[in-house]
């Protein structure tokens, strides 16, 4: 799957697919022999498009379900902000072979993995249990279309990530 492809299907499965791709990219980013700059570019685009599409299309819909915890939605938005801050810190490090880069990468890995784990255990499980298959498919289409639009807009550029971080400060 290209990160810009519009996918159809259950929104939960689409979100999980992105989470697994992020894990793959983390393995590449940790590999000193890999093209870390290219992997970081793909990761930045995916993370920003994924989180933005969730906030635009998925989270507002989930808030309407009484058995989906609003606090979990708010917490997820907060964790997106933390991940964006960690991403910006890494994007601003010029030398991908430096210890600073390694340190910032681990901060990003920690923030994103923590969020993905919590989201999978709370919001996504709640969605599986409380949101019907047809509605999850509709949300999957909306999520995928929004995600593709963000990807087309170069959402992972350092300038855009900085703008996102500044807007939530």
Q: pLDDT digits over 125-165, tens only? A: 989 999 999 999 999 999 999 999 999 999 999 999 999 99
Structural domain includes residue 6? no
Whether the predicted pLDDT of 2 surpasses 60:
no
Structural domain includes residue 2? no
Q: CA–CA separation, 124 vs 129, rounded Å? A: 9
**pTM tops 0.75, yes or no:** yes
Q: According to the model, what pLDDT value does residue 17 have? A: 97
Distances (CA, A) of 38 to 33, 35, 45, 68, 138: 12, 6, 11, 37, 32
Whether the predicted pLDDT of 52 surpasses 50:
yes
Structural domain includes residue 4? no
Structural domain includes residue 145? yes
Whether the predicted pLDDT of 70 surpasses 80:
no
Find where tokens 């910032």 sit: 104
Structural domain includes residue 126? yes
Render the burial of 36-52: b for 16+ CB within 10 Å, e for the rest.
Answer: beebbbbbbbbbbbbbb
Domain total in the chain: 1
* Domain carrying residue 63: 11-167
Higher pLDDT, 62 or 106: 106
Q: According to the model, what pLDDT value does residue 65 have? A: 81
Structural domain includes residue 5? no
Average pLDDT over every residue of 73-79: 88
Which residue, among 71, 64, 23, 74, has the nearest Cα to 47 in the 3D structure?
A: 23
Whether the predicted pLDDT of 3 surpasses 60:
no
Structural domain includes residue 1? no
Q: According to the model, what pLDDT value does residue 55 have? A: 95
Whether residue 112 contacts residue 83, with contact meaning beta carbons closer than 8 Å, is answered with: yes
Whether the predicted pLDDT of 1 surpasses 50:
no
Mean per-residue pLDDT of the chain = 92
Higher pLDDT, 68 or 34: 34
Structural domain includes residue 158? yes
Q: Which residues make Cβ contacts (< 8 Å) with residue 98, sequence separation at least 6?
A: none
Render the burial of 90-129: b for 16+ CB within 10 Å, e for the rest.
Answer: bbebeebeeeebbebbebbbebbeebbeebeebbbebbee
Taken as a whole, the chain contains a residue count of: 169
Higher pLDDT, 67 or 110: 110
Enclosing H/E stretch for 145: helix 133-152
Q: According to the model, what pLDDT value does residue 7 have? A: 67
Res. 71 pLDDT band, cuts 50 70 90: confident
Q: According to the model, what pLDDT value does residue 68 have? A: 72
Q: CA–CA separation, 57 vs 145, rounded Å? A: 10
């Amino acid at each position: 799957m290209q990160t810009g492809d519009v996918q159809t299907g259950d929104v939960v499965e689409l979100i999980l697919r992105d989470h697994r791709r992020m894990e793959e990219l983390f393995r590449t980013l940790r590999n000193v022999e890999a093209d870390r700059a290219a992997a970081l570019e793909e990761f930045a685009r995916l993370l920003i498009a994924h989180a933005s599409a969730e906030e635009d299309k998925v989270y507002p819909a989930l808030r309407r379900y009484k058995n989906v915890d609003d606090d979990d939605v708010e917490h997820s938005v907060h964790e997106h902000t933390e991940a964006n801050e960690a991403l910006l810190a890494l994007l601003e490090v010029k030398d991908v072979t430096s210890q600073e880069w390694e340190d910032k990468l681990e901060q990003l890995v920690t923030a994103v993995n923590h969020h993905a784990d919590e989201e999978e255990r709370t919001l996504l499980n709640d969605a599986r249990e409380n949101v019907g298959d047809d509605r999850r498919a509709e949300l999957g289409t909306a999520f995928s279309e929004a995600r593709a639009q963000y990807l087309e807009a170069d959402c992972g550029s350092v300038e855009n990530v900085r703008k996102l971080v500044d807007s939530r400060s």
